[in-house]
Amino acid sequence: MSPAMERLVGQLLIGAAIVGLIVTLIVLLLMPRTLTATNDGIQETLATLDGTLTTTDQALQLVGQSVADIDSTMQTAQSATLEVSTALSDTVPLISTMAEITGEELPDSVIAAQEALAAAEDSATSIEGVLTGLNDSLVIFGGAPLYDPDQSFATTLADLSGSLDPLVESMQLVRASLLVTNQNLTDMQAEVEALSDNFDQLGETVDSADEITGQYEQVIAEQQALVEELQGNATSWMRWISLFVLLVLVLLLVAQIGLLSQGLEMYHRGRRREALLAESRSSSLQ
């Protein structure tokens, strides 16, 4: 390599070493502030994440409490509908029995009573005939009549039998009303049972929601534990990273010093060689 080229390479190495030293020193000066800001940013990010997880956990706890309240309400509603269904189930046979009694047994009893009154009316007519003949005999012999009612007993029985006629019709109307009521209660019982089934299905859905909420709460708790662990280890990690970067920068600084020394050596060696060449040329010319 010619002296001029060697001197030029030495100058380039000196320039590169000076630039490297300046950059390394700037990095060394800025490193504490940068690492501190980075650590603070990491801690702030982790704190924000921990706060978010805490808020989410609180929200999940509120959701879980709401789900538990809904589940309790569903159970109460289902229990109430079952009680109503049981009451309706007990009432329907009673209404059916009342309809049967009102529509069949009571009218039969009234008809039997009317038949008995008709037979009594015939007997009363015969008895009144005898009593009327006795009264006529007493009047002929100058005595006072013993039997002189305002209305004959047979007529009274006939009126009583006639007064029973509307009862049969009324009982039939009551029976029809009871049958309608019985059908309405039967339909209502079916609707209440369907409502109870719906409450049961809703209860199962709420139980599933409660289970899912519990799983989410567990996941959030695990994430919070991980974030807390990261918060505890972040400072230690940053310290080790700082030491590693510092070691790398020191090695770079040493390398730049070595490069600067090599550049100076090449530069001075080139100048010496040029001086020797110049002296040898001068000697040859003389």
Is the whole model's pTM more than 0.75, yes or no?
no
Dihedral angle of Cα 75, 80, 86, 87, to the nearest 10 degrees? 170
The mean of the pLDDT values for the chain is 77
More confident residue, 142 or 2: 2
Q: Are 94 and 187 in contact (CB under 8 A)?
A: no
Instruction: Tell me if 284 is assigned to some domain.
Output: no
**CA-CA distance, 23 to 182, in Å (whole number)?**
99
Least confident residue range of 126-130, 131-135, 218-222: 131-135
In terms of C-beta density within 10 A (0-12 exposed, 13-18 middle, 19 or more buried), how is residue 152 classed? middle
Instruction: Tell me if 285 is assigned to some domain.
Output: no
Mean pLDDT of 110-117: 77
Has residue 169 got a pLDDT over 60? yes
Q: How confident is the model over 33-49, as pLDDT tens digits?
A: 877 787 777 878 878 88
More confident residue, 4 or 56: 56
pLDDT of residue 108: 77
pLDDT of residue 1: 61
**CA-CA distance, 70 to 58, in Å (whole number)?**
18
**CA-CA distance, 154 to 131, in Å (whole number)?**
13
Q: How confident is the model at residue 90 (pLDDT cuts 50, 70, 90)?
A: confident
**CA-CA distance, 130 to 137, in Å (whole number)?**
11
- In the DSSP assignment, the letter for residue 101 is I
Give the number of domains in the chain.
Answer: 1
Domain that holds residue 179: 3-279
pLDDT of residue 40: 78
pLDDT of residue 207: 79
pLDDT > 70 fraction of the chain, expressed in percent and rounded: 87
